[in-house]
Chains A and B, each alone.
Chain A
Amino acid sequence: MSKKPGATQALHKVIMVGSGGVGKSALTLQFMYDEFVEDYEPTKADSYRKTVVLDAEEVQIDILDTAGQEDYAAIRDNYFRSGEGFLCVFSITEDDSFQATQEFREQILRVKNDDHIPFLLVGNKSDLQEKRKVNLAEAQARSQQWGVPYVETSAKTRENVDKVFFDLMREIRSRKIEDKSASNGRGKDRAKRKKKMCIIL
């Protein structure tokens, strides 16, 4: 593992969000250390960093594994502000956690003030098909409605674990390139549009 966090290496900041106990930490740990932890201990907030090869390019991924049970909305906002991409995780065995994603999504959009923020809807615990409460169509409908990809993962079997992180990093990267190539194009553009609206108002 290269330990040279230089300026040459891109850093992509990913945030894990979702209700408590849906497997955010499990996914993270599986991705980070290729291990699956059976016992559950609620996370406070952990930050991980790792150098990975994304499409033949060495990049750093910074994962913020947030607490599912955070009491202060202001603190949640601070988590979200620091992220460039989001993995919004729910458990397919728990409908409440699926319903909660709506709230997380709204909060993220509000905090980031960007409808096109890199974002993946992740249905975890796909190995527990027999306990499934959230059916695929339902989840796909929601992801389509939001205009984001939907992926089902299993932290236990490592199914799609790398995929969600890499897909998200790609999105983050393309967003960054986009922003840069248009010389702050899209962001600026949006800002401009907004500005105009203000004037009209």
Chain B
Amino acid sequence: MTDLMKNLGSDDFNPEKFVKELSSQCVGVDELRQQRAKIQILADSTSAQLKKNVYQNYMQFIETAKEISHLESEMYQLSQLLGEQRSLLGTLGAIGATGVVFDENIETQNGESHNAGTKEEEQKSKLIQLLENVEGAMSLVETPGRICLHEGSLLELDPLEGTPLKRIHAYLFNDVLMIASWLATGGRRGPPRYKMQAVYDLQSLAVVNVRDLGTVKLAFKLLAFPDTRVFQCATATSKKEWLDKCEQAKKARLVQEDQTKSVDKDRNLKDEHIAPSRSMSLDSNTIGTEDSPEAEGTESLPEWLLEVAEDLDSCIAQRHFEEAYNLLEKARSYLSEAQTTPVLVGIKAKVDDRAQSLVDVLTKELELSSEAKSLQGGGLRSARRAVRLLIQLDQSVQACQLFLRLCNAALKAQLKRVKREGPTIPYVKQLSAIAFSNVAEMAREFLRIFPNSANCTSALVVWCGQEVNHLTSHLIKQVFIPQVSTNTLAECIVAVRSHCDQLTQLGIDLRYQLDGHLRTPLARALQDAGEKYVDAIKVRAAEDTWRPSNQSSQNLQKLMTELEDLGIGVPLSYMTSETWLSLTSNTLAFSRLYVGLLEDCLSVNTPELMITIDSVLVSVMRAQVQHLLASLSNPKFKQERKVVEDNAVYIRDIVIGRGLELYQSATARPFTKLVTLKDQIVFEPVAATKPRPAPRTAVTKYSTTEYI
């Protein structure tokens, strides 16, 4: 198959040759069919692959398109901004320019000068008044410095035929000519209404005098491609006025333009004149020295150094931070080696300034990313660049702070995703798993970025500690609630501890801290549980009738295996028959509960908790032992004495024995208090009412055998 693929895919594949070879090789129809099938399969797989590729490309295309549209909108915003700025500048320029022209006009005409600003206002209000009756012309008011030079009604003629078309009203401004058509006012009185029809820029409007011919008299023509319009005036003077005014307006505009141009030119000339000394004068200004800088020094400086500040600015603006840093270093090393001249001091000040701004930009970058709502996994990785640069810029402390803040935010975002749903255990397990694995990951990242800064490592440790504090206080609220069982508690705590131990791989052991936080609530929870157990035992003891339990053989078998699993298997001798067990249901229940409690207690065990655990375990057992002893000495249970004794022996030998065993293995020391308790279980003759046990001897063993 692969051969075939290669063959077909090769550059010099020749279909005819291929078919020829195929037909010469293959004998009979079947083989040909096989070949065909092969090619078919190949075609299918190729088309599938093609589809996949297309799909992949499509996805990429969509991604790209999204990016592009993002960019587009950004560009659009930029262009909007630029447009605004341009119009602002244009306005400023126009105010300046027209202000000047106007002042001159006023001075020459009236010999008095006005404030340009109030003049502007006046012009505008005049314009507004004028254009009030022209529909759609208010936009013309917006252009500052626009004044109306002439207006009047005209008759528009057909440019070819010379026949009258309609009446119009024309307004000549200092920069444009506006044509408005009449609106029917319905014969009502009041000022006539117009509707703006066209606006022609005087710069491109050709006004042509039309020589009289036949019906076309007193007319002039407007050439404003593609329009050619002919207007007829009422009188010869009015026509002359129109033509003259148009000409004047055009001339005035030309003069104005020339002025602005020449001003620009002047300015340019001045700039050129100043330019050579500019950088030097700036430099000397920055350091405040007025003496003339050494010309030689400036000349001998490399060009890049003179432009370093600008280059740094542009690098920072373009977010080429690495480049900026390299440039900065280059400049600094040059400056440290070069002799100090006023110029160099100036440059140095600038460079330091840029360094500070670079730090600021990077800082802001990190701050922003820690504030960003959506912290994906890449948050830390993308921060690496900024952090690394900050470290290089000797800002490791700040970088470390910012990085940890970022970690904090990232962690919070991660944990926020874990929703409390359903049972406590999975929630706690998940939460602590995520928290600790993230902390570990972040710590690892931290150590990678800050490999050689001990001061930062301490910050990391403090941060980890804080995070663990934070987590545990949250967990305590979640876990230590009244209804929770010791079993759940134990499981949660064990899970959290095991997660916490991950950090020890990085040399951060926060177990003590975790346990310290958990100790108080845990101790209280254990004590509460113990009290609850004692109460329960007392209640059951009061109701105990010392009846051996009777169950179906199947259930009994199940019970036996269960107890066996708990490590408190019942010796066969207790089974009096297929269905009878000489242990009471009370004993069985207690045994199971006690072993459970024991295991839970031991699993959360810490040295500091030992006393609590001991007292809880002992008090629960004591309650049961007291019940046993009381029952033994109780004459009411004389009939059931054998059963009571059996139960007592079971508790003493098996349950307590198991307890001692577990305790020993978990804590590596004997459970002396329980041993004492065990020794209290001795059997007196019925009559004996001695509450206290005999001295510790081998009596128990003996007595057991005695009564069996």
Task: Give me the interface of A with B, judged by CB distance under 8 Å.
Answer: 3, 5, 7, 11, 32, 44-50, 64, 71-72, 74-79, 81-82
Contact = CB atoms under 8 A, between A and B. Distances in A.
Contacts of A3: 214-215
A44 B243 contact: yes
Given A5-B160, A44-B243, A81-B225, A75 B214 contact: no
Nearest to A32: B211
Contacts of A72: 203-204, 250, 254
A82 B206 CA distance: 10
**Which 8 residue pairs of A and B lie closest in terms of their CB atoms, listed nearest first?**
A74-B204, A45-B208, A3-B214, A78-B206, A81-B225, A78-B223, A47-B210, A75-B206
Contacts of B250: 71-72
Given A44-B243, A45-B208, A49-B213, 16 more contacts: A3-B215, A44-B208, A45-B207, A46-B209, A47-B209, A48-B211, A49-B210, A49-B211, A49-B216, A64-B208, A72-B250, A77-B204, A77-B225, A78-B205, A81-B223, A82-B223
Nearest to B216: A49
B43 interface: no
Given A5-B160, A79-B223, A46 B228 contact: no
Contact of B208 (A5, A32, A47): A47
B239 to A, nearest CB: 13
Interface string B493-517: 0000000000000000000000000
B162 interface: yes
Nearest to A63: B211
Contacts of B221: 47
A75 B247 CA distance: 12
Nearest to B207: A45
Interface of B: 160-162, 201, 203-211, 213-216, 221, 223-226, 228, 243, 247, 250, 254
Given A45-B208, A50-B213, A81 B226 contact: yes
Contacts of A47: 208-211, 221
Given A45-B209, A48-B213, A75 B204 contact: yes
Contacts of B207: 44-45
Contacts of A44: 207-209, 243, 247
Contacts of B254: 71-72
Contacts of B162: 5
15 contacts: A5-B160, A5-B162, A45-B209, A46-B211, A47-B208, A48-B213, A49-B213, A64-B208, A74-B203, A74-B204, A75-B205, A78-B204, A78-B224, A81-B223, A82-B228
A45 B209 CA distance: 6
A82 B209 CA distance: 15
A148 B208 CA distance: 27
Q: Which among A32, A79, A82 has the highest number of chain B CB atoms within 10 Å?
A: A82
